């Protein structure tokens, strides 16, 4: 049995101009007892930048910057940069976020060696129209038909791309390759490359032609993740496999309900799902999770591990940042009770 402990709200908005509307969806990187938190800071008018704060231990706030750590610097992010994630690979921080220009929401990357200076790599996901994606992906009849339900509408002549969000890297190379997850709705997909330079138009065309081979998880059932799912926290390496904490969305007559979910991926072949919880890991229960800018949301985006205690940091109702804790051992044991049978 998994015992979920609510650690409460860790961060709220301030009167500072860059975060006077809300703070949410934090990226977390742990270095010993220190937690670096890069979070989405929203000012009035729904314009997002990335703020920074530091914790000693999982919960004690030690430092909070009064200016953004990262701000938009391109037309692709003219309306803000949102929902960061962070890992460290070979001494380099890989920080991903969603670049938003009011029309398109696309995954982008910056890297750093010190969290003070940054190299911007721009958009790293495909810049394809929905029709381009559909034409290629429909060649494979194994793809969930939900991928082909285009519901966003914009003015004529606007350059509208397929939304591709929730980009997050694995914290090390896998079989020599950089690995990252991304989310083309409604599921979660995997990319493996030797270097970022491979991510060309030709690469993505081939990727979409074989799209079903790259899908790790799709929504299932009629429960907490029947609507769509998306990446949450960067995968955690365990002795049993990669632990993936992600979000699931249930569509109700009163709006979406976002919950936290968990799966276990093969350590050498992360496209293979070993286990997946049938029930949500945790759901919106408290007032600060149920009432906010977007109600009924727990949106996990980062973790830290102290002994056997796993701390999961999340955006609550798109208004504040909160945390839960649980036993990693208990979670892995529960996952092993929900193993997925694969054909031999």
List, in sequence order, every residue forming a beta bridge with 247; answer none if it has no partner: 230, 260
Quick one: pLDDT band at residue 40, thresholds 50, 70, 90?
A: very high
How buried is residue 331: exposed, middle or buried, by Cβ count under 10 Å (0-12/13-18/19+)? buried
Domain-located, residue 342:
no
Helix/strand/coil for 134: helix
Higher-pLDDT residue of 343, 255: 255
Quick one: pLDDT band at residue 38, thresholds 50, 70, 90?
A: very high
Statement: residue 281 has pLDDT above 80: yes
Helix/strand/coil for 122: strand
Domain-located, residue 251:
yes
Higher-pLDDT residue of 288, 226: 288
Cα separation, 94 vs 92, whole angstroms: 6
The confidence score (pLDDT) of residue 152 equals: 61
Of the candidates 45, 165, 54, 146, the one whose C-alpha atom is nearest the C-alpha of residue 104 is 165
Domain-located, residue 341:
no
CATH of the domain at 304: 2.115.10.20
Domain-located, residue 107:
yes
Dump pLDDT digits (tens) for 195-246.
Answer: 999 999 999 999 999 999 999 999 987 789 999 999 999 999 999 999 999 9
Percent of the chain's residues with pLDDT above 70: 97
Over residues 60-82, the mean pLDDT reads 97
* Residues contacting 35, CB < 8 A, separation 6+: 28, 29, 54, 55, 56, 57, 58, 304
Cα separation, 59 vs 72, whole angstroms: 29
Tokens 């000693």 label which residue? 56
Domain range enclosing 84: 5-336
Which tokens belong to 310?
């796993």
The confidence score (pLDDT) of residue 342 equals: 72
What is the torsional sign of CA 9, 227, 186, 180? Answer: positive
Domain-located, residue 234:
yes
* Number of folded domains that form the chain: 1
What's the Cα-to-Cα distance from 109 to each of 81, 122, 160, 169, rounded to whole Å? 11, 6, 20, 10
Tokens 């030709």 label which residue? 202
Cα separation, 159 vs 221, whole angstroms: 35
Domain-located, residue 114:
yes
The confidence score (pLDDT) of residue 41 equals: 98
Dump pLDDT digits (tens) for 116-158.
Answer: 999 999 999 999 999 999 999 998 777 888 898 865 656 666 7
Over residues 340-344, the mean pLDDT reads 72
The confidence score (pLDDT) of residue 150 equals: 65
Over residues 9-21, the mean pLDDT reads 98
Domain-located, residue 138:
yes
Over residues 78-91, the mean pLDDT reads 98
Domain-located, residue 344:
no
């Amino acid at each position: 049995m998994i015992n979920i402990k609510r650690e409460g709200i860790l961060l709220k908005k301030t009167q500072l101009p860059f975060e006077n509307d809300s703070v949410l969806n934090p990226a977390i990187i742990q270095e010993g007892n220190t937690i670096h938190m890069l979070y989405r800071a929203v000012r009035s008018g729904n314009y997002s930048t990335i703020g920074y704060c530091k914790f000693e231990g999982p919960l004690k706030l030690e430092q909070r910057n009064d200016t953004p750590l990262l701000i938009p610097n391109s037309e692709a992010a003219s309306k803000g940069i949102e929902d960061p994630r962070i890992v460290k690979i070979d001494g380099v921080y890989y920080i991903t976020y969603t670049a938003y220009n009011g029309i398109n929401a696309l995954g982008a990357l910056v890297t750093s060696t010190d969290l003070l200076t940054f190299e911007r790599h721009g958009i790293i996901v495909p810049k394809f129209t929905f029709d381009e994606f559909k034409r290629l992906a429909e060649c494979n009849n194994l793809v969930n038909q939900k991928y082909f339900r285009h519901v966003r509408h914009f003015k004529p002549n606007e350059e509208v791309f397929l939304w591709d969000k929730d980009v997050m890297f694995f914290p090390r190379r896998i079989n020599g390759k950089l690995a990252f997850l991304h989310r083309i709705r409604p599921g979660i997909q995997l990319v493996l490359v030797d270097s970022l330079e491979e991510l060309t138009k030709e690469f993505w065309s081939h990727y979409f032609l074989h799209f079903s081979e790259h899908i790790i998880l799709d929504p299932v059932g009629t429960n907490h993740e029947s609507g769509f799912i998306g990446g949450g926290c960067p995968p955690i390496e365990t002795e049993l496999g990669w632990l993936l904490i992600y979000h699931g969305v249930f569509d109700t007559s009163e709006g979406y309900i976002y919950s936290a979910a968990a799966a276990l991926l093969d350590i050498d072949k992360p496209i293979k799902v070993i286990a997946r919880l049938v029930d949500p890991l945790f759901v919106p229960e408290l007032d600060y999770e149920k009432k906010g800018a977007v109600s009924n949301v727990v949106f996990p985006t980062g973790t830290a591990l102290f002994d056997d205690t796993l701390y999961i940091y999340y955006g609550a109702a798109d208004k504040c940042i909160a945390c839960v804790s649980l036993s990693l051992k208990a979670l892995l044991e529960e996952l092993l009770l929900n193993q997925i049978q694969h054909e031999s």
